Structure 1
Amino acid sequence: LHSGLSIGEKYAEGRKIHRKEVQLVVGARSAGFAPFENLGMILIDEEHETSSKQEEMPRYHARDVAIYRARRHSCPVVLGSATPSLETFARAAKGVYELLELPERVSRQGLPSVHVVDMREELRSGNRSMFSRRLLDGLRQRLERGEQAVLFLNRRGYSTFVMCRGCGYVIRCPHCDISLTYHRAGERMKCHYCGHEEPLAPRCPSCGSEHIRFFGTGTQKVEEELTRLLPKARVIRMDVDTTGRKGAHEELLSRFAAKEADILLGTQMIAKGLDFPNVTLVGVLAADTMLHLPDFRAAEKTFQLLTQVSGRAGRHELPGEVVIQTYTPDHYSIELAARHDYRAFYRQEMMLRKAHGYPPYYYLTLITVAHQEAPAAAKTAEKIAAYMRKQLSNEAVVLGPVASPIARLHDRYRYQCMIKYKREPNVTAALKAVIDRYQADAAHGGAAITVDTNPYMMM
């Protein structure tokens, strides 16, 4: 069960379950709703994954659905992860969940050696390439030995934004407050939020200058640079652009498994779950990508991603090596991921979460107001914040309203309020009253309200 199935295929699979023709369902988060009448166990692999939380209506977390269903059916839930979410591990530490540990790899192989490269030093020593000397030497060695490598970069496209060097104008999406990403294929500019596309302008739309330059690095640009530096290397690129058509994902991985390529270059989709015996080198090109986002989970997501992607190297007989390129090598999430030390990261991060009042010490609810006019969105958000302050106790904290980090999406301006609380019996009723009050307005072109409990996306 997953979203890639056609409606007919989904119906056929659902019928099989109803008729009791199957005993096991495998799938993405929606598989948690499989219509079994006699559930015996629910397994959630990579339970820490943010994709377990659905960000559109209906908003739900696959883990919460699993735990609710398991209570109804009196069956166990197994939450599996090499890097559990802080909320899950805190519950295990308190004895709410039972902790079961696998301290060794299944193959008994040791964990790969990890080298953190300070890209500031590389720049000072005259290396202006996107590859550090250690990583490039490692790639050359693998090519000579007939081994394979995985390169991870959490950005698709050719460059992250396009700017005029004459006047500083950055080409942005006309519908969202976000810069357009340049894609080399077809010379297109794309918005990764609303899907807007336009051809690359030869001149600056603001001042008419021809000095248009590309900034930042995407997977397409890395692929081009790889073929220039290592012309004999066969590269497979995996990102949203190359895996769009049905079956493309499996086809690319099968080709890599069959050793039709030396380097697998990709985004988050290659960070976990892959098991190739011949992969002995993993390179992380920009470990800081998520570290500086306005998100209290930024350090946790960075640690998880680096640990998961490091685990792709040396999984069988051949020893593995990992090279992490970063501009902040002394950040605790990067240092501890290099040491494979989850418990030290957990202790450090829990101290910070407690000091700032974030989960798992507090519950969070994010209220977002969207309107075609910014003043209307701000006014409605202020009314909602004032109402929530009246309804909740002094223990609860209502923050905002403030403009969202991405202030406009799909031609709608967005304002947010954040509620932090521990025990608030009235919070559900108050939130329901807010939704009931404004849902009718939204139908007539008024403000649209979304309420997200325990949000994973703050943008």
Structure 2
Amino acid sequence: MLAEIIVDVPLMQTDKPYSYRIPSQWEGMVQIGVRVHVPFGKGNRLIQGIIVGLLDEPASEDTKDIAEILDFRPVLTTEQLWLAEQLRKTVFSYKISLLKAMLPNLLNSSYDKVLRPKVSLEKAEQESLFGGREEIRFSDLDVEHQARVMRLAQAGKIEVDYVAMDKKHIKREKWYRVYQDKLADFDISKRAKKRQELKDLLLQQAEPAPLASLRKNYSKEILDFFEEQGLIEVWEEEVSRSQAYFDKVEASQALTLNPEQAIAVEQIVSTVGQESQTYLLQGVTGSGKTEVYLQVIERVLAQGKTAIMLVPEISLTPQVTNRFIARFGQQVAILHSGLSDGEKYDEWRKIEQGQAQVVVGARSAVFAPLKNLGVIIIDEEHEATYKQDSNPRYHAREVAKLRADYNQAVLVLGSATPSLETRARASRGLYGLLRLNQRANPLAKIPEVQVVDFRDYIGQQEAGNFTPILLDKIREKLEKKEQVVLMLNRRGYSSFVMCRDCGTVDQCPNCDISLTLHMDSRSMNCHYCGFQKAIPQICPNCQSRSIRYYGTGTQKAYDELQELLPEARILRMDVDTTRKKGAHEGLLDRFGRGEADILLGTQMIAKGLDFPNVTLVGVLNADTALNLPDFRSSERTFQLLTQVAGRAGRADKEGEVLIQTYNPNHYAIAFAKNQDYEGFYQYEMNIRRNLGYPPYYFTVGLTLSHKSEDFVVQKAFEVVSFLRENLSDSIRILGPTPKPIARTHNLYHYQIILKYRKEENLEAVLNHILDKTQEKEMKDLRMVIDNEPQNMM
């Protein structure tokens, strides 16, 4: 027997399966989807690989043997292996990178296996293998014993723990139970006061408890004495490191749906398991989309199927996670970037072992190894965060569509402001269109939106973030004991530091971008490469002391607001204040408990928040993303303003929204003021049609980066020539041009944009270009091929 193995070397030359001989002692036990160690290359060093196929063929003389089998059962499902095959065609990433993206980080590291006998293991077999020991390491066994252990593990007679370097994959905790009758009759010397104290405590201990609770006050010798005397029994149990997310959530019941919600639920579940179908659920903010998702999943689970629920960034929206845990309890597994590697591994095992039927998570949760999927839901489907911006560059929406097709499942795309691509597909009948036009709470009204023109106040006040009308509104809400949400889409203190005499802006030495002032750390920071330096006191160009801070950020806005409204309790929420684990949730919990009057933050506060006492939302500057060199800048601005406006008036109190801007007549702001998605959609689609952008054309972005600008320009023009020679005349090739931020990390970046409707040779041509970058002369050239790029910056 031969095994077809993809090795963990992400290169053109290795992007194919290699054949390895399965040693005779492992024949019949090796399965597709398990990881192995195999000798590779001239030096035969051992590297990790994944079995993707089995061949019943004789091996040639130079065929190498598999050195070690790392898993006793597959860690990748048949569906995941198929998925990697499909994505390889459009993601332009090597297959091993796609497969590794589907596994928790701990399974991509070096580790050993620790084995423990289970009760079902016969005594003779246990003595033969373990020799009276409680556990053994797999690597300490000879090949014959390793094969025996594999058979026993696959039969469920041996327990397997993975140990990574010095850190266990599986966390274990000691527990104890008390033998009350025996303890009551046991005499302890009066001189042994600590033992007597423990006896008195244990006599009150009716239920098993963690041994750690005793270790705080009693030595190991005392605890060992009670165990040796048979007064307590001590054993180990596996502990879920993510259990804390579940313990604090109270159970909830399904709510009564309004007619629109009920129709949506019935329509969505009508085709589950029969055919793959995609629905756009377009509902105004506060229309109860989440309750629709919950009841759809409830119906899917009743059919014996499973579900995936994706949100744009789950660490920013703990309210969503809690709602799903409250409804489905331990059936839920959580997967997102805020978890530690250990927590991610625990949740992955929960899914892989079939203990979880609902996965709630961010982008990468779309790969969760659930079987028999019934529904995949993507909330706020328009968000750019669903596109991975590093290798492999997949879009969760496209992965979800493939998985829905594979499982005859339903894909639900939910949003108040759908992406133009999704809305266009729904308009053409490619997706079903379901609408929720009213708020779920009949007392909650869509808030009134007022646009405030910054230009009206020029010369009347010092440059600042707050117009008099916004300040008056905030004071009014504070007097009523109501809450305010303020959004400014820029973190830090100022945009840049500039010399007023010569105009020099303090820039990053590694990137073509100005440094951002951070007053809390009293430093100038680059948000691209992480460069940091002290705040300059004199101009590096002309030595003038006329250094001034320009622009604004959340930190500066916070300081300004504290000075203007010293009585207000303000929370600031941006990347800088939420670095620590649990910081997002902590801030939102405090705001939800009424411990603050104002929540000031970046766009992370625009989605997923539902606080009934918020009656005013203020957008401090609507223009920050409006004029970026990206064809989606108007769409993103409209979506952001509409989403953040939806945070106001979500209960029985009326909400108000104030948008401050220098461009009150810009169509994105005007349509957002009127909460008019349909008007914006028609207007923007006309612009996209005239300019030849999605959804009328498909796009591919190629970015070339190198430390030498001359070299990268030369190679970029060679790529364009190759594209023109091998593609049809109908494809539009733009560039090469420097990227808007042309240099970061001391690398120069040039981009090429392809726009096309249909191009049969494109996949082969782009893969050929990707492979060419592996050649020796290109080793320092970085090439990124991004299918349907979400960011042109």
* TM bracket, shorter-chain basis: over 0.9
Pick from 60, 65, 71: which aligns with 2:405? 71
Aligned residue identity for 1:397? R
Alignment of 1:110-129 (within 5 A): 110-123=445-458, 125-126=460-461, 128-129=463-464
Aligned to 1:224: 559
Alignment of 1:241-260 (within 5 A): 241-260=576-595
Q: C-alpha separation between the residues in 1 aligned to 2:734 and 2:720?
A: 8
Deviation of 1:165 after TM superposition, in Å, equals 1.1
Would the alpha carbon gap of residues 442 and 36 (structure 1) be closer, same or farther in structure 2, given more than 3 Å must change? farther
Post-superposition Cα deviations, 1:251-278, rounded to whole Å, max 9, x if no partner, equal: 1111111111110000011011101111
Deviation of 1:124 after TM superposition, in Å, equals 5.0
Aligned to 2:528: 193
2:688 corresponds to 1:353: yes
Q: C-alpha separation between the residues in 1 aligned to 2:601 and 2:778?
A: 41
2:660 corresponds to 1:325: yes
2:766 corresponds to 1:455: no
Aligned to 2:427: 93
Deviation of 1:125 after TM superposition, in Å, equals 4.5
Is contact 2:485–2:598 with CA below 8 Å preserved after alignment? yes
- 3-state secondary structure, aligned to 1:221: helix
Aligned to 2:477: 142
Q: C-alpha separation between the residues in 2 aligned to 1:140 and 1:15?
A: 51
Post-superposition Cα deviations, 1:140-180, rounded to whole Å, max 9, x if no partner, equal: 10111111100000000000000111211111111111000
2:637 corresponds to 1:290: no
Is contact 2:376–2:411 with CA below 8 Å preserved after alignment? yes
Aligned residue identity for 1:288? D
Which deviates further from its counterpart, 433-442 or 184-193? 433-442
Runs of 4+ in 1 over 6 A off after TM superposition: none
Is contact 1:243–1:249 with CA below 8 Å preserved after alignment? yes
Q: C-alpha separation between the residues in 1 aligned to 2:655 and 2:460?
A: 27
Is contact 1:354–1:361 with CA below 8 Å preserved after alignment? yes
Aligned to 2:675: 340
Q: C-alpha separation between the residues in 1 aligned to 2:539 and 2:754?
A: 43
Post-superposition Cα deviations, 1:290-323, rounded to whole Å, max 9, x if no partner, equal: 1100000010000000000000000001000000
Deviation of 1:204 after TM superposition, in Å, equals 1.3
Post-superposition Cα deviations, 1:344-365, rounded to whole Å, max 9, x if no partner, equal: 0000000000000000000000
Q: C-alpha separation between the residues in 1 aligned to 2:762 and 2:686?
A: 27
Post-superposition Cα deviations, 1:91-122, rounded to whole Å, max 9, x if no partner, equal: 00000000000001111221000000111112
Aligned to 1:397: 732
Would the alpha carbon gap of residues 348 and 227 (structure 1) be closer, same or farther in structure 2, given more than 3 Å must change? same
Is contact 2:700–2:785 with CA below 8 Å preserved after alignment? yes
Deviation of 1:130 after TM superposition, in Å, equals 2.0
2:772 corresponds to 1:437: yes
Q: C-alpha separation between the residues in 2 aligned to 1:11 and 1:148?
A: 39
Post-superposition Cα deviations, 1:201-250, rounded to whole Å, max 9, x if no partner, equal: 22112221111100000001100110111110110000000000001111
2:790 corresponds to 1:424: no
Q: Give the aligned length.
A: 458
Aligned residue identity for 1:327? Y
Aligned to 2:418: 84
Q: C-alpha separation between the residues in 2 aligned to 1:374 and 1:128?
A: 40
Is contact 1:439–1:449 with CA below 8 Å preserved after alignment? no
- 3-state secondary structure, aligned to 1:227: helix
Q: C-alpha separation between the residues in 1 aligned to 2:361 and 2:754?
A: 33
Which deviates further from its counterpart, 1-10 or 141-150? 1-10
Deviation of 1:420 after TM superposition, in Å, equals 0.5
Q: C-alpha separation between the residues in 2 aligned to 1:334 and 1:114?
A: 10
Q: C-alpha separation between the residues in 2 aligned to 1:143 and 1:352?
A: 43
Deviation of 1:128 after TM superposition, in Å, equals 3.8
Post-superposition Cα deviations, 1:56-84, rounded to whole Å, max 9, x if no partner, equal: 00101011110011001110000000000
- 3-state secondary structure, aligned to 2:513: coil
Is contact 1:276–1:315 with CA below 8 Å preserved after alignment? yes
Aligned residue identity for 1:94? R
2:443 corresponds to 1:102: no
Deviation of 1:186 after TM superposition, in Å, equals 2.1
Pick from 581, 601, 612: which aligns with 1:266? 601
Structure 2, unaligned stretches of length 5 or more? 1-334
**TM-score normalized by the length of structure 2:** 0.57
Is contact 2:516–2:526 with CA below 8 Å preserved after alignment? yes
- Which one has the largest radius of gyration? 2
Aligned to 1:209: 544
Is contact 1:32–1:65 with CA below 8 Å preserved after alignment? yes
Deviation of 1:123 after TM superposition, in Å, equals 1.2
Which deviates further from its counterpart, 102-111 or 90-99? 102-111
Aligned to 1:171: 506
Would the alpha carbon gap of residues 441 and 455 (structure 1) be closer, same or farther in structure 2, given more than 3 Å must change? farther
Aligned residue identity for 1:266? G
Is contact 1:122–1:128 with CA below 8 Å preserved after alignment? no
Is contact 1:441–1:448 with CA below 8 Å preserved after alignment? no
Q: C-alpha separation between the residues in 1 aligned to 2:778 and 2:336?
A: 31
Which deviates further from its counterpart, 106-115 or 146-155? 106-115
Structure 1, unaligned stretches of length 5 or more? none
Pick from 381, 388, 394: which aligns with 1:47? 381
Q: C-alpha separation between the residues in 2 aligned to 1:272 and 1:409?
A: 30
Aligned residue identity for 2:656? E
Aligned to 2:364: 30
Is contact 2:773–2:779 with CA below 8 Å preserved after alignment? no
Deviation of 1:11 after TM superposition, in Å, equals 1.6
Is contact 1:442–1:448 with CA below 8 Å preserved after alignment? no
Is contact 1:439–1:448 with CA below 8 Å preserved after alignment? no
- 3-state secondary structure, aligned to 1:26: strand
Q: C-alpha separation between the residues in 2 aligned to 1:338 and 1:114?
A: 5
Q: C-alpha separation between the residues in 1 aligned to 2:399 and 2:783?
A: 23
Aligned to 2:392: 58
Q: C-alpha separation between the residues in 2 aligned to 1:229 and 1:442?
A: 60
Aligned residue identity for 1:203? I
- 3-state secondary structure, aligned to 1:25: strand
- 3-state secondary structure, aligned to 1:439: coil
Q: C-alpha separation between the residues in 2 aligned to 1:442 and 1:198?
A: 36
Aligned to 2:220: none
Would the alpha carbon gap of residues 102 and 441 (structure 1) be closer, same or farther in structure 2, given more than 3 Å must change? farther
**TM-score normalized by the length of structure 1:** 0.98
Q: C-alpha separation between the residues in 1 aligned to 2:776 and 2:605?
A: 43
Post-superposition Cα deviations, 1:433-453, rounded to whole Å, max 9, x if no partner, equal: 0000013348732x2111001
Q: What is the RMSD of the two structures over their aligned residues, measured on CA atoms?
A: 1.1
- 3-state secondary structure, aligned to 2:458: helix
Q: C-alpha separation between the residues in 1 aligned to 2:415 and 2:596?
A: 29
- 3-state secondary structure, aligned to 2:595: coil
